[in-house]
Every structure is written in structure tokens, then in C-alpha cells.
Amino acid sequence: MNICARLKLHAALFALLVGFGLTAAATPLEAWIQSPETWQTTAANYIIRHRAWRLHWVSETDRSVLRSALPQLSLLEHPIEDLHVRFSQNRPDRISAMIYNRGDSGSIEKERFTELLNQLRQDITDFANRSPSRQESQRRGRNINIHRQHWRLDPNLWTLLWSETEARRSGGVNYPYQAEFITLHVQPLEIAAAGRSTRASAQHRRTVPLTNHLQRHRNGDLFIANLPMVDQGDKGYCAVASLERIMRHYQIDIDQHELAQIARTSTRRGTNPEVMLDALRQAGAFLGIYIRSHEEFEARDLQQLIQYYNRLARRQRAEQVELGRTVELTTLYLSLDYDLLKEARGQRQSNVRGFMRTIERYIDRGIPLLWSCMVGIVPESPPLRGAGGHMRLIIGYNSETEEIIYSDSWGHGHEFKRMPLADAYTITLGLHTAELRDHR
């Protein structure tokens, strides 16, 4: 079982709330959003004043976003799946309310998505007492468009974004309709006018050297500091959440839900990390990135690994393993003796050294690496629950201690971790980079 595919606790609750209306315990946020005091409150006071909302920092090292997934929060009588309050200079500069996304809420039919969208648009129009701007659309990939409308509610600008993927046939395969997401961003008018949250231009990105984010400690650690954190929540979005963090590191404003849509419309098999990377290669022109693969653990690599493993097992009179026609990788890895697996994986030390050199080369340039691996067979801190394929970021290294420094997209407590190189290479399934085309 993929560890990213956690239980979707919100799905049933969402269906109840949307289908039958909000409960009496609902906390409406529209008046709070429009209050001038909301935009002048410091981050520390937010947590104190709204303790019941269970606001928490997405990252303890980069205190820029407070998040709440409390089911009782609502906007114009619509349940909020996820609330984010983004800060700049210790004051909010954007409040985002996710009304629907398929990762948390599950799939819904086109008719239900259209009904939800139209009702929300009408509710915002009634609340604003004015008509919205003309609908804008931005192409983000093949058959992918992000739509938006604006309402001016002095002193703020409300921006509604949504997307859906129409049914289509491509390459002899029928792809069904897929509702994607509906989210609302609210910003003070002066911030919105200044364009602080718009997508950065390539020229702007070039003016900020990625190496400016590097920190070196006396103990030999070299790492990318303050890498933006994303909390993927209860959904299996480890790959797209990791990529969102890299995009934000590059000052590109795209989130995991848009990236999940790109992956979904380009492949039959969901967001498997390797398949997703193939999909993103096709979308590179729209994202301004180039996906490069440095390590890929393929079928022939697995066969060779098991040959090495069995050779070692025979010497130690340990149980050997046989590969069938189909292999469930998690089950296989959990059945192996880890010490033998580690020794077998490290048989070719030149490969281990090459793995470390690749990490060093990219970290030295300020570029994090997408690391797909098998978790649950090496102890980690904080401990992980379950085992399976996972994608995380390598954000640094220590050549003196032969360790890699990595981060998971699970929010607070997962910003900065380390693992011995030998263990890291043992569990590696793939290593990739997402590079800006003008930084290659």
C-alpha cells in the first residue's frame, strides 16, 4: 500500500455537508475575511484568537502559512476543505479557502460540480452586491485550463479559481470527466494590485540566485534553507506536493491540485511518482521546467538486486526469495532481511558514490531533488506509519558524515531530516530534478 494514500477522512463528511447543508456548529468566515482587523492581526495573535479553529503552522522553520482543516469552517454556507492564511512581514497578505478538490473530497459528477460552482458564484455575487469580472482562462497543459473570476469587495479582491477535465479519447484510451478543484483567494486590493501573489516572470526568477538559499553549518551540513513547505494532508499527493514545493522555491505560483490535474490528464495510472514525472515532461513548456531523471530503479535492476541478495543469503544460510511474474514491491521489500538487502544494494559502490555526487552537484546549485523511495524499512524520526512507495525531497547533504538531508511534505516536524547515505541508497527507487529551463 502506498504510504501517501492515507485514509480520506473528509470525504464522507464533505458529502453530508454539501448534500444536506451545514450543521449548526458551522463557523462562517465571510464577515471575518472582510474585517479590516483580520488583515492587521499578527500571526501569533491569530493562533490565540482563533484557537478553536486549530490553526497551525505548515512549517515551523518557515512561518509563512497557517492552515486549518477543521470541518466546521464555512464560507457563504459552503464547507471549507482547507483554509490557508499566508503571511508577509507578520501580517496576512492572502486568505485561501479550498471549497472542493478531488484529492480530499473524492470524485463528483459534472452536474454536481457545475451546481456547486454556479451556486458559489451566485452566493459571492449576492454577498458582494455586484457582478464579477469577465471569466479568464489560462492554459496550463494539454486539455487543462484554469478559470478565474474576480469580485471587488472593498477593501478586498475575491478571486475564484476552478478547473475540470472534460472526458476525452486519446491514444485509444477513453478518459472520463474529472472535477478538479474550486478555491477562493482573498487579498487586500493594494496587495492584489501590486501583483505580489501573481506568477513570477522568468526575468524575475533569474534575478534571485538559487544559491542564496544555501546554508553551511560547522558540522559539515550543506542544505537549502527555508524551502517552502506543503502539507499534502490525508490524500496521496506526495509527488505533486513535493513538486509544488520546488515550484514555490522557483517563485512559480502553482499548487498540488493543478499539478495533480496535469498528472491525471496525461496518464492512465493516477499520480504514481514515475508516471507523474512522465506527464510533467509533457507539461514542461507550460511550467517552464525541465524534468531530468538521474536514477531509475527498473525491472532489470530488481532482478540483479535479488541475485546479489540470494547469493549473500546462501552464504549466511538465510532464506532466499524468488521473483514471480508480478511483483508487489512493498511486500517484497518487507520480506527481505534488511542487512542483506543493504549489502546487496551496495555491491557496486561506484553507483552509491555516483548517487551522492549527483546530490552534491544539484544541492551546490540550490536545486532540491525529487527522491522516490521505499519507506517503512529504515527507522526514521519522527517515526512513519506503514510502508510503501513515497516521494520526498532531498534538500542537502553532509560529505563528512556521509548523510543526506531530506524533507517530507507532511507539514510541521518533517522539514529537516537526515539519513546515512548507505540507507538512503538502499531504499532509493528514483532520483529526479525539476529545473528551470533558464537555469540549466
Residue pLDDT, tens place only, 234-254:
666 788 888 889 988 998 878
Q: Specify the range with the lowest mean pLDDT, choosing from 99-103, 141-145, 306-310.
A: 141-145
C-beta separation of 260 from 275 below 8 A: no
> Which residue ranges make up each domain of the chain?
1-198, 200-440
Question: Which tops the pLDDT comparison, 57 or 365?
Answer: 365
Of 281 and 212, the structure prediction assigns the larger pLDDT to 212
Taking each helix axis from N to C end, the angle separating 299-315 and 338-345, rounded to the nearest 10 degrees, works out to: 120
Q: What are phi and psi of 398, to 5 degrees?
A: -135, 105
Looking at residue 440, what is its pLDDT? Answer: 55
pLDDT surpassing 50 at residue 14: no
- Give the whole-angstrom CA distance, residue 148 versus residue 253: 15
- Class for the domain spanning 200-440: alpha beta
Whether residue 382 has a cis bond before it, omega within 30° of 0: yes
Q: Which of 189-193, 264-268, 281-285, 342-346 has the highest mean pLDDT?
A: 342-346
Q: Is the pLDDT of residue 17 over 60?
A: no
Looking at residue 202, what is its pLDDT?
39
Asked if residue 5 has pLDDT above 60, the reply is: no
The pLDDT assigned to 194 comes to: 77
**What's residue 251's pLDDT?**
85
Confidence of residue 61 (pLDDT cuts 50, 70, 90): confident
Give the list of residues 6+ apart from residue 426 with CB closer than 8 angstroms, or none.
338, 341, 342, 345, 346, 378
What pLDDT does residue 105 have?
82
What's the average model confidence in pLDDT over 33-39?
Answer: 95
Q: How confident is the model at residue 262 (pLDDT cuts 50, 70, 90)?
A: confident
State what percent of residues in the chain have pLDDT above 70. 83
pLDDT band for position 7 (cuts 50, 70, 90): very low
Paired with 396 in beta bridges are 223, 405
Q: Does the pLDDT at position 405 exceed 80?
A: yes
Quote the pLDDT of residue 130.
94
In 10 A of CB 430, how many CB atoms? 19
Residue 263 C-alpha cell reads as 498528472
For residue range 141-192, list pLDDT tens digits in order.
Answer: 667 788 999 999 999 999 999 999 888 887 788 888 889 999 999 999 998 8
Q: What is the mean pLDDT of residues 90-94?
A: 93
Cell triple for 219: 558540522
Residue 272: per-residue pLDDT: 56
The pTM score is 0.75
pLDDT value at position 25? 66
Range in 82-86, 195-199, 326-330 with the lowest mean pLDDT = 195-199
What's the chain's average pLDDT?
84
